[in-house]
Amino acid sequence: MNRNKRKHNKFKIIFGIIVAILLLVIGAGEAYFFHVAFVPGKKSVLNKYSHYVKKDPLASKKKWYAQAKKQRWYLKSATCDYRLDANYIPAKKSKKTVIVLHGFGNNKNTMGSYAAMFHELGYNVLLPDARAHGQSQGKYIGYGWPEKYDVRKWVREDLRKEGKNQKIVIFGVSMGGATTMMVSGMKMPHQVKAYIEDCGYTDVKSEFLHEAQDLYHLPGPIATGAVDLLSGISKANLGFYLKDASAVNQLKKNKKPMLFIHGGNDPFVPTKMVYANYRADNGTKELWVAKKATHARSFETYPHEYEEHIANFLKKYA
């Protein structure tokens, strides 16, 4: 009897050690993924989707932006009291403004070619650094969910500085595109006339599940479990579950015109997501899928067509 008891106790000790090791491994893994996903800093995961361009078709626009005279605007974030930073480039005697939102791991200055395009179309251009990006403060990256309130504050700041007669368009790429869609479901000042989103995701949980399998090659059930754990950590640290951060749900509340753009060969935010976003939207809407473009490369791949789609959309709605 004593011998059996000793074996049982030994088994319990070994089992406890195994469970403790597994918990440590899982905890370390989740800590790593949380840091990669939410903590600001250089993001090596973006290297998989970077590419070398021998001749940049947008080089002249980027040069214009680098040389353009910029005003610096500052704002306190809608939550957490962060200091947010933006560049503002006025157009001559214009009452039209576009707010340009950058993607994950980027900053306002990576959006120079878009700024040039909108400026050529007669728009003042406001380019904020999202919280935890560029020169804006922030502890965590919120993937558009808390940032949507910051965008609304930038709209109000533009109206305060430039007058109530503004016509405002909100435009974003990748995370900025998702933020744009999330903003569209909010109550916004009537001066916001239209939205343009380029390659934004349907919701943060779906995007994380895709990346868990595409970037880290985790099998489906393991990827789901890892993302669920990460979602709980997000709730504890940022105040929302990953599924809560849904462009689709926000689009269902939108009543204003929206142009959807997506690369037809996008490995990072799968092209199928734009169709789900488009179907969910309740406003006047247009869709352009840039057939051969990869993630956030539609402008670079089809510069003339890209500008043409945007110019035609803006002529109708803003």
The pLDDT tens digits for 185-207 are 999 999 999 999 999 999 999 99
Across residues 239-254, what is the average pLDDT?
98
In the sheet with 124-128, reading across from the earlier edge strand, the strands are 71-76, 83-89, 124-128, 96-101, 167-173, 192-198, 258-263, 285-290
Return the pLDDT at 193: 98
Phi/psi of residue 128, nearest 5 degrees: -85, 150
Return the pLDDT at 34: 80
Phi/psi of residue 101, nearest 5 degrees: -110, 125
Which band of pLDDT confidence, cut at 50, 70 and 90, is reported for residue 82?
very high
Return the pLDDT at 184: 98
Q: Which candidate, 75, 93, 199, 189, places its Cα nearest to that of 135?
A: 75
Return the pLDDT at 22: 36
- Whether the pTM exceeds 0.85: the reply is yes
Q: Residue 142 and residue 38: Cα distance in Å, rounded? A: 7
Angle between helix 220-238 and 204-214 (nearest 10): 140
* Domains along the chain with CATH numbers: 46-203+245-317 (3.40.50.1820)
Across residues 258-273, what is the average pLDDT?
97
Q: Residue 98 and residue 195: Cα distance in Å, rounded? A: 9
Return the pLDDT at 55: 87
pLDDT tens per residue across span 149-188: 999 999 999 999 999 999 999 999 999 999 999 999 999 9
Residues 6+ apart with CB under 8 A from 294: 49, 51, 263, 265, 266, 267, 268, 301
Whether residue 137 is predicted with pLDDT greater than 70 in this model: the reply is yes
Across residues 20-30, what is the average pLDDT?
41
Angle, alpha carbons 216-34-211 (nearest 5°): 30
Distances in whole angstroms, Cα of residue 231 to Cα of each of 31, 34, 228, 242, 306: 12, 9, 5, 5, 35
Whether residue 93 is predicted with pLDDT greater than 70 in this model: the reply is yes
> Lowest-pLDDT range, 34-43, 137-146, 164-173?
34-43
Return the pLDDT at 167: 97
Whether residue 20 is predicted with pLDDT greater than 50 in this model: the reply is no
Which band of pLDDT confidence, cut at 50, 70 and 90, is reported for residue 53?
low
Which band of pLDDT confidence, cut at 50, 70 and 90, is reported for residue 36?
confident
Return the pLDDT at 50: 55
SS3 string of 259-310? EEEEECCCCCCCCHHHHHHHHHCCCCEEEEEECCCCCCCHHHHCHHHHHHHH
Whether residue 13 is predicted with pLDDT greater than 60 in this model: the reply is no
Across residues 70-82, what is the average pLDDT?
97
Query: Mean pLDDT in the chain?
Result: 90
Which band of pLDDT confidence, cut at 50, 70 and 90, is reported for residue 44?
low
Whether residue 16 is predicted with pLDDT greater than 90 in this model: the reply is no
Q: Residue 238 and residue 247: Cα distance in Å, rounded? A: 18
Return the pLDDT at 51: 58
Return the pLDDT at 47: 56
